Chains A and B, each alone.
Chain A
Amino acid sequence: MKPTVIMVGADKGGVGKTTTSRALLDHLARKNMPARAFDTENPRGTLKRFYPDITEIIDLNSVADQMKILDTLDSAAVKVTIVDLKAGNLSSSLDTFDRIGVLEAARHGQFDLGLIHVVGPSVASLDEINEISEYIKGINYVIARNFINETNFFEWDEKTFKKYFADLPDAQEIDIPKLNEMAYEQVDLAGVTFSDFVDNKDARGADATFSFVLRGYVRKWVSDLDAEFNHLSLLQNLGRAGSETAAKPKAEPQRAAKK
């Protein structure tokens, strides 16, 4: 299986980037696809709080930390790497990856590279797409519209949206559905993965006493989110690679960008 790196980033804080990374790691775990994660929220590391065993906090400006990700792609036991990019650092991170030849290597097929770009409802978020467009050609680019906090994407009228996507015909789009506030808060307080919360397990794996209703809300949200992730060609490729040894499945049609 070819190594895969999935970056999750946003140039704006508070748009649900780390929630998306958590949801993605959960999704991969449910699909029996082991993954490792790098949290660039140096030195705090929100992602590491939920996935302490598989997450390492790094400083993407440090050459040594860049090597931790890139020089271990082939040798690492797990082939899927999630990089949660620090808020506000999307453009500069892509620029770093471009300068050290990562983007070019991915374009030449040495590994699969994807970017999940979590955006807010403003035109400023759409402007981010313009800013990074030169970097994302030839890599899997996914726009994630985050509704988790019941965001209203009122500014995203069809015409404006299409204008920004004109140069990105291969881009895909997913929606991160809304999750009940109290359920979200309880998962956060418990410091567990979404899947463990649904399974009523605490951070040590012991039986917990989470509310049935709140677990139900999270179960439904996880199920809706799985449907969104399942549309992504980047993740479909992972699924195919993972099951190649068992049987060669038929290729599934990819969903085009929604709009």
Chain B
Amino acid sequence: MRLGTDDLPRIVDTDYPHGTIKRYFGHECTTIDLSRTDGQVRLFDSILENPQFDYVIDLEAHHLERFFSIFDDIGYEKAAAAAGMGVAVFFFLDRTLASIQAAVALRRQLGSSQFVLVRNDAIGAFRAPVYGEHDLMKIGMDRQIRLPALSADALDFVEDPSFNFTDFIMQRRQGLPDWLSDELWRFLETIYQQQPTGTAESLFTA
């Protein structure tokens, strides 16, 4: 998103008060306590008041159910559409059946929002082929993205708060060892090759 637009996306970190994502995007990121009503007001109201921006909400797992319950109760999807905004939910699947069931339930709850399933090779594939894959089909995802696994050394590197993929892609980050540079390019190419043409527009325009 940072590469594709002049306006930087606004980032909301729900890991209150620690702010995991805020460590990486100090200027663009706001940490919000979703368990409090004033935090919910700060999040949802401010987005609707400024629909000209793109937003990324990093949702802590323990907030998932409550977040989408509020999202549903207050009719946010409809209001966002009326404000000309699209909503895309990236759901990270883990190895448990409960995770698939949560994805199915969430997909049913959503109306016009896009639902993108993300499978992370680093945590392994789902291992319940008998009914797991069947349930996976029931999710009815719009798209699926697979995140390839990074080596432990590469993961350490990208998790450092001083690293960001934008600088890496724009080659503003010099002096990386070749193996690391190659691995990160392969990682990004694998992800980006899964994006259909015009993904940014299709995801974030109502």
Contacts and interface: CB of A to CB of B under 8 A. Distances in A.
B5 interface: no
A213 B75 contact: no
Contacts of B153: none
A220 interface: yes
B46 to A, nearest CB: 10
A86 interface: no
Majority-rule SS of B interface residues: helix
Interface size range of chain A in the complex: 10 to 19
B178 interface: no
Contacts, number: 37
Interface string B66-83: 000010011110010000
B183 interface: no
Nearest to A215: B74
Nearest to A220: B73
Contact of B38 (A182, A216, A217, A220): A182
Nearest to B48: A212
B37 interface: yes
Nearest to A180: B37
Contacts of A220: 73-74
Interface in B1-57: 37-38, 40-41, 44-45, 48
Interface string A154-198: 000000000000000000000000001111000000000000000
Given A217-B73, A217-B74, A212 B44 contact: yes
Contacts of A219: 74-75
B75 A216 contact: yes
A211 interface: yes
B126 to A, nearest CB: 35
Contacts of B40: 213
A82 interface: no
A198 B38 CA distance: 18
Contacts of A211: 41, 45
A5 interface: no
A214 interface: yes
Nearest to B36: A182
B74 A182 contact: no
Contacts of B76: 212, 216
Closest 5 CB pairs of A and B: A216-B74, A182-B37, A220-B73, A213-B41, A213-B44
28 contacts: A180-B37, A182-B37, A182-B38, A182-B41, A183-B37, A211-B45, A212-B44, A212-B45, A212-B74, A212-B76, A212-B79, A213-B40, A213-B41, A213-B45, A213-B70, A213-B74, A214-B41, A215-B74, A216-B70, A216-B73, A216-B75, A216-B76, A217-B37, A217-B73, A217-B74, A219-B75, A220-B73, A220-B74
